[in-house]
Chains A and B, each alone.
Chain A
Amino acid sequence: GQQLNQSPQSMFIQEGEDVSMNCTSSSIFNTWLWYKQDPGEGPVLLIALYKAGELTSNGRLTAQFGITRKDSFLNISASIPSDVGIYFCAGLNSGGYQKVTFGIGTKLQVIP
């Protein structure tokens, strides 16, 4: 099946710093998604990307859909304590039941 490799798996940063995480796939996706999960909660969608090369922002978050359609990155600028959580990339293909495949996650910790 499709596999998503996400890196880094964890990171500690100082409040105010920028953060970057990325995701690569062994195969092509038509849609890339980035989610954030807080402890004991379900994931919440941050950004959805639909076209190769697309660059989309949501507040301090920016994500890009790689040209090869096999990768994506998420940047968080000027991190704040509430950015703490686990960030998951996910891929989605059209057809069938359109299952969402998740990466292994990046655990972000922000030091005030």
Chain B
Amino acid sequence: GAVVSQHPSWVICKSGTSVKIECRSLDFQATTMFWYRQFPKQSLMLMATSNEGSKATYEQGVEKDKFLINHASLTLSTLTVTSAHPEDSSFYICSARERMVPAGYGYTFGSGTRLTVV
């Protein structure tokens, strides 16, 4: 089945530094990738949608200059949290939409990245 690899699985960084999270579709081409943020005991909240070769579309309230998304190929998207602050600490999850697969079954999620900013 479709596999999405997300790396790193956890990261601790100092306040003010930047952190890059990678999301790769290992055995399929992803037309679209999605980035979610999940705070403890809460649901997944969509942050942005990215298509290969074009600018990401951000959800309302998500700062595009703080959360930089690059979708350089059909198998790789990266999320960079710039100038991280403790309130950015969260669980970040990516999802890749597989081409030519019926909606619903075509969405595969990564295993998430636990970001802790100290």
Chain A residues at the B interface, C-beta cutoff of 8 Å: 1, 30-31, 33, 35, 40-45, 48-50, 88, 92, 94, 97-105
Contact of B104 among A50, A97, A99, A104 (CB under 8 A): A50
Chain B residues at the A interface, C-beta cutoff of 8 Å: 4, 6, 32, 34, 42-46, 49, 51, 57, 60, 91, 93, 95, 97, 102-105, 107, 109-112, 114
Is the CB–CB distance between B110 and A42 below 8 Å?
A: yes
Chain B: minimal CB distance from A103 (Å): 6
- Chain B residues, CB < 8 A from A97: 32, 34, 49, 51, 57
Chain A: minimal CB distance from B75 (Å): 17
A48 to B97, CA, bound (A): 15
13 contacts between A and B (CB under 8 A): A33-B107, A35-B109, A45-B105, A45-B107, A50-B102, A94-B103, A97-B57, A98-B103, A100-B95, A102-B43, A104-B42, A104-B43, A105-B43
Max chain A CB contacts within 10 Å: which of B44, B51, B93, B102?
Answer: B44
Is the CB–CB distance between B104 and A33 below 8 Å?
A: yes
Is the CB–CB distance between A43 and B44 below 8 Å?
A: yes
Interface of B is mostly: strand
- Chain B residues, CB < 8 A from A43: 44, 93, 109
- Chain A residues, CB < 8 A from B104: 31, 33, 45, 48-50, 92
B57 nearest in chain A by CB position: A97
Chain B: minimal CB distance from A19 (Å): 19
Chain A: minimal CB distance from B107 (Å): 6
A38 nearest in chain B by CB position: B111
- Chain B residues, CB < 8 A from A102: 43-45
A34 nearest in chain B by CB position: B104
Is the CB–CB distance between B105 and A40 below 8 Å?
A: no
A99 nearest in chain B by CB position: B46
B93 nearest in chain A by CB position: A42
